[in-house]
Amino acid sequence: MKLKALLHNTGIECPPEWEEIEITGISYDSRKIKKGIMFVCLIGENTDGHIYAVDAMLRGASAIISEKDLELPSVAVLKVADTREALSAISANFYGNPADKLNLFGITGTNGKTTVTYMLKSCIESQGIPCGLIGTISYKIGEKEYEATRTTPESLDLQAIFNEMLNQNIEYCVMEVSSHALQLGRVERITFDYSIFNNLTQEHLDFHKDIEEYYQAKKRLFMKTEKAAIINVDDKYGERLLIELTNEVGIDIVSCSLRNEDADYYGEVVEKNEKISKLNVYKNNKLLGMLLINTPGVFSLYNALVTAACLHTAGIDFTSIEKGLAELKGVPGRFELVENIKDIPIIVDYAHTPDALKNILLTAKDIVKGRLICVFGCGGDRDRSKRPLMGKVAGELSDYCIITSDNPRTESQKQISLDIEEGLKQTDCKYEVIEDRRKAINRALSIYEKGDLIVIAGKGHENYQIIGGAKTYFSDKETVLELIETEHGRI
């Protein structure tokens, strides 16, 4: 593609003498540069792409997009105000704006995004329609599945994924849209057909300066939505969003509630037990049908309700929605029961916010007959203020807690544990601190008695730990199974 065509409608000026430069690819990683590839200098959390501009030039970059003045005589340098915004625009042009050809569903909120994408995908595919998925666990394109590097990929990678979906004749895509992606411009030049807001609670305050900035970042998704916004109005931020969007955008605003029968879609709880949930769904007070969800908990009901409301609004018949949800047996690392040879009830969950931890522990309390044993930690180099909140939640709802490592990264695990203890000490819960996560899980197994239930929270589907600068393989689920097979690995 010629440079002039690549920059069409991007606002980036191109001197006439550079218009015919041939661009064969785009990269923001200088190590991937070779002759014909454009290099984009991104400023990240840990490094500045501008320091690799010379390396990109020496590797044969055809052009460089920069926010800074660079004196590189043998390559075309185009200066822009924001290289991330520029990357979004040129990536869309390079791949022919593939998002415009997809039926695109975006999901945002603090908790439940991953589960909702799996629910949407299952329901869409119950009609025989292939559907791609982009989210925290992985990126799914037909029979291919790629490990997720982040919840919402960088704009260049996102456009490449969309393009691959179209090449495989996939015309539907469901994706999680993180606040980081919205604030950093990863989803610029992308328009969503339908978008869902599930909830908003404290998270990512290491990145956003406060909860208001976090909310405003989430709200941006609905400014990029063409057809309808589906909102859980039982959440206080959802209620606020409904009012604001009604006055600010010209799309359908669809309310969902388990409390208010006057919501556009109202869910009436039929049954809740330790394995399933059932929900009657009404639209404008008319019964559409009953949903069977193969996971327990109120959070599962909310996830199912917004899924059903979104798809029904999009014109998918309710029978397909019922079938898709009934067929979905669970989501990896989301209130996942770890089946084992000893029949010890163990739940692995990704919960890493106070609200998410509260939800899974409340659900667990409805199931457990004996003690509720909770193993959890908090990530390092992240929002410290949520640690005592999580400690207090765990202490109030559990009978025994084991504080351990999550991904301490470069922070002291001792300090992370002390922060969590501040909250736990406000409760009467018995607890101990075991920094090694494997040993902490082993300890929970060793004190288990018949009737107890063990919840291991924080990592869910993740198969790694980051300690210091090292990323090592670690899976809560695999660790549980290994320890049980060796008589709990008792110590």
Contact 375, 455 (CB under 8 A): yes
Residue 53 has what pLDDT? Answer: 96
Burial of 294 (0-12, 13-18, 19+ CB in 10 A): middle
CA distances to 42, 48, 190, 322, 417 from 51, in Å: 10, 6, 29, 53, 37
Distance CA(208)–CA(383), nearest Å, equals 10
Contact 260, 266 (CB under 8 A): yes
- Which stretches of the chain drop beneath a pLDDT of 70? 204-208, 488-491
Sheet with 103-108: strands ordered across: 144-147, 138-141, 131-134, 172-176, 103-108, 192-197, 225-232, 252-257, 265-272, 277-283, 286-293
β-strand pairing of 225-232 with 192-197: parallel
Distance CA(349)–CA(300), nearest Å, equals 13
Who's near 149: CB < 8 A, 6+ residues apart? 157
Half-sphere exposure of 222 (CA within 13 A, CB side): 29
Structure tokens at 130: 């292939």
Structure tokens at 461: 């589907």
pLDDT tens digits along 350-409 = 999 999 999 999 999 989 999 999 999 999 998 899 999 999 999 999 999 999 999 999
Distance CA(295)–CA(297), nearest Å, equals 7
Residue 491 has what pLDDT? Answer: 41
Domains of the chain with CATH codes: 3-94 (3.40.1390.10), 98-327 (3.40.1190.10), 336-489 (3.90.190.20)
Distance CA(378)–CA(71), nearest Å, equals 44
Q: What radius of gyration, in Å, describes the C-alpha atoms of the chain?
A: 24
Contact 246, 266 (CB under 8 A): no
pTM of the model: 0.92
Residue 330 has what pLDDT? Answer: 87
pLDDT tens digits along 157-171 = 999 999 999 999 999
